[in-house]
């Protein structure tokens, strides 16, 4: 007796991952990361407003290997969230929503964010 395959339950662990789904999750994750990262910017600016000693301390922490790692991640997070936002602007015109189109655009945001981030750090940090 042959039985037709039953529809599978859309449970999180067995859900087939698509690039649009992954980029949707990453858009929210980077948004939350940017939310926290803005505190780092505020701390730096407040330290600069207070005085040289406070700024020296913040520069020391941000300049450490861990600080640089966090700032590199923050850069990518900001750039990726911007690329994701541009993708939403495109979708607001009800275009690029078909299968294939939306997947290519999702991959494009990921590739663009990685390339732009590496470009920023290469030009302004590693080669500067």
Binding-site ranges for another protein (CB under 8 A): 28, 31-32, 34-35, 38-39, 41-42, 45-46, 48-49, 51-52, 55, 59, 62-63, 78-79, 82, 85, 88-89, 92, 120, 124, 128
Closer residue to another protein (CB): 79 or 106: 79
Closer residue to another protein (CB): 48 or 97: 48
Distance CA 56, CA 45 (A): 12
Closer residue to another protein (CB): 63 or 115: 63
Angle at 36 between CA 35 and CA 37, to 5 degrees: 95
Q: How far is the CB of 107 from another protein (least distance, A)?
A: 21
Q: How far is the CB of 88 from another protein (least distance, A)?
A: 8
Residues near 62 by beta carbon (within 8 Å), at least 6 away in sequence = 40, 44, 68, 71
Closer residue to another protein (CB): 3 or 123: 123
Of 89, 85, 91, 41, the residue nearest 62 (C-alpha) = 41
Q: How far is the CB of 85 from another protein (least distance, A)?
A: 5
Q: How far is the CB of 26 from another protein (least distance, A)?
A: 14
Q: DSSP letter at 35?
A: H
Torsion of CA 107, 110, 111, 114, to 10 degrees: -170
């Amino acid at each position: 007796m042959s039985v037709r395959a039953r529809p599978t339950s859309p449970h999180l662990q067995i859900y087939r991952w698509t690039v649009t789904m992954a980029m949707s999750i990453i858009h929210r994750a980077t948004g939350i990361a940017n939310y926290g990262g803005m505190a780092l910017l505020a701390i730096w600016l407040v330290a600069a407003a207070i005085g040289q000693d406070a700024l020296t301390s913040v520069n020391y922490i941000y300049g450490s290997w861990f600080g640089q790692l966090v700032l590199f991640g923050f850069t990518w997070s900001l750039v990726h969230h911007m690329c994701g936002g541009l993708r939403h602007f495109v979708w607001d015109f009800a275009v690029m929503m078909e299968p294939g189109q939306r997947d290519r655009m999702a991959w494009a945001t990921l590739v663009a964010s990685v390339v732009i981030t590496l470009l920023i750090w290469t030009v302004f940090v590693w080669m500067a």
